[in-house]
């Protein structure tokens, strides 16, 4: 039974302070009307910007109608968790073509499980306070339009690079949600502060931001290195540089990230020296080593084949080097056709000068 004498304003304040004790930096509350975002979502799909991410086309209206995903939902509690580790010396790694750039969100433990566990604890605390209530927790784990919900909940605005930006915290954060049937008071959306800045659009190595607020995922290095399981389009490979897992360029250049604070979350700290590893060292990991060293990390999801594929592209982009040529030659007969094809491409680039 639900406690009939609830003060929902007080409950919302309490949930926000509990959210902080669970390691979230901000909590906001939105209603479930995403009708303003629905046509844009359809446009994005119609242009095929989702590429091979078929999961974006499935689930019908559930993605933009929360009450269809979880019947009874009337509010969404949206939460932000910052992930930027301190001292990872990003420019130094990005500018060293022999080093592997891994996007900063993926250096530590996989955020999906961690955030859902924290959300579950928070939801259980709410249950203990209010009695029975309907809820479900998400962290990039279901058809949920996380950025629009967070924008409505006042956590920030969707920037021109399409990530959510917060005036005090930049954009280096994850989002998570609790869908609930509690009639909590709503937070107000904040204004968009991108102004006339187009730095993210200009810096994108593959020109994936085809217009303000419009991302053609098929060109985005994050998609190419993480989501795509096939051959990387040849014309995009030279533009990827040394980015072997995800990409952060559009966030790095964003002026609002001057205000981002590094996380002290233990689980988000870099593991196995992945924040500045040598490409050659990672390329030489055996499959067993790959699975051992990526245990509990989001990187594991791409599998060993795509790991080698991505590093081969970066080695093809590195300056000519005998050691690189030897390492590539070593994998010319790899059992995976995908790996062989990217290794041959890289070898052609490495030996083009001879």
Summarize as ranges the residues that interact with ligand B12 (CB under 6 A).
37, 40-41, 44, 53, 56, 103, 105, 139-140, 144-148, 158, 161-164, 171, 173-175, 213-215, 217, 220, 222-223, 227, 246-248, 250
Q: Which of 140, 181, 267, 321 is catalytic?
A: 140
DSSP string computed for 28-48: EEE-S--TTTHHHHHHHHHTT
Distance, CA of 253 to CA of 273 (rounded, Å): 24
Query: Within a 13 Å sphere around the CA of 110, how many CA atoms are in the beta-carbon half?
Result: 17
Pick one of 126, 150, 250, 298: the residue that binds ligand SF4 (CB under 6 A). Answer: 250
Cα dihedral: 339, 341, 342, 348 (round 10) = 140
220 touching ligand SF4, by CB under 6 A = yes
70 touching ligand SF4, by CB under 6 A = no
158 touching ligand SF4, by CB under 6 A = no
151 touching ligand SF4, by CB under 6 A = no
236 touching ligand SF4, by CB under 6 A = no
Distance, CA of 93 to CA of 173 (rounded, Å): 21
Measured from the CB atom, the residue of 209 and 328 that comes closer to ligand B12 is: 209
Q: Are 27 and 76 in contact (CB under 8 A)?
A: no
Distance, CA of 83 to CA of 169 (rounded, Å): 11
Measured from the CB atom, the residue of 252 and 325 that comes closer to ligand SF4 is: 252
Among ligand SF4, ligand B12, none, what does residue 249 contact (CB within 5–8 Å per kind)?
ligand SF4
Strand 173-180 and strand 135-138: the pairing is: antiparallel
Q: Assess whether 13 carries a catalytic annotation.
A: no
Give the binding range for ligand SF4 (CB under 6 A) out of 136-144, 247-255, 273-281, 302-310. 247-255
Which of the 8 DSSP states describes residue 227?
I
Q: Residues with catalytic annotation?
A: 140
């Amino acid at each position: 039974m639900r406690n009939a004498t609830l003060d929902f304003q007080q409950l919302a304040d309490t949930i926000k302070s509990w959210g902080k004790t669970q390691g979230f930096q901000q909590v906001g509350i939105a209603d479930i009307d995403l009708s303003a975002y629905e046509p844009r979502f359809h446009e994005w799909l119609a242009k095929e910007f989702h590429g091979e991410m078929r999961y974006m086309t499935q689930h019908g209206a559930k993605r933009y109608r929360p009450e269809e995903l979880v019947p009874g939902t009337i509010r969404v509690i949206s939460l932000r968790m910052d992930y930027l580790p301190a001292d990872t010396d990003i420019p130094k790694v990005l500018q060293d073509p022999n080093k592997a750039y891994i996007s900063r969100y993926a250096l530590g433990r996989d955020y999906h499980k961690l955030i859902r566990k924290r959300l579950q604890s928070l939801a259980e605390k709410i249950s203990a306070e209010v009695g029975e209530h309907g809820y479900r927790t998400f962290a990039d784990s279901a058809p949920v339009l996380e950025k629009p919900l967070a924008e409505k909940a006042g956590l920030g605005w969707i920037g021109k690079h399409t990530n959510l930006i917060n005036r005090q915290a930049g954009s280096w954060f994850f989002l998570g949600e609790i869908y609930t049937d509690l009639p909590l008071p709503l937070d107000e959306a904040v204004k968009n502060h991108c102004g006339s800045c187009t730095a993210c659009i200009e810096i994108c190595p593959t020109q994936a931001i085809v217009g303000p607020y419009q991302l053609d995922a098929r060109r985005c290095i994050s998609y190419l290195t993480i989501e795509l399981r096939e051959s990387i389009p040849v014309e995009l490979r030279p533009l990827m540089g040394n980015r072997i897992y995800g990409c952060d360029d559009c966030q790095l250049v964003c002026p609002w990230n001057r205000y981002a604070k590094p996380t002290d979350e233990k689980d988000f700290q870099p593991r196995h020296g992945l924040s500045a590893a040598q490409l050659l060292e990672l390329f030489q990991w055996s499959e067993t080593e790959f699975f051992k060293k990526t245990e509990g990390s989001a990187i594991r999801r791409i599998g060993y084949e795509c790991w080698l594929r991505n590093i081969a592209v970066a080695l093809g982009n590195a300056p000519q080097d005998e050691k690189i040529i030897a390492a590539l030659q070593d994998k010319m007969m790899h059992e995976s056709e995908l790996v062989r094809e990217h290794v041959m491409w890289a070898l052609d680039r490495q030996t083009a000068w001879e």
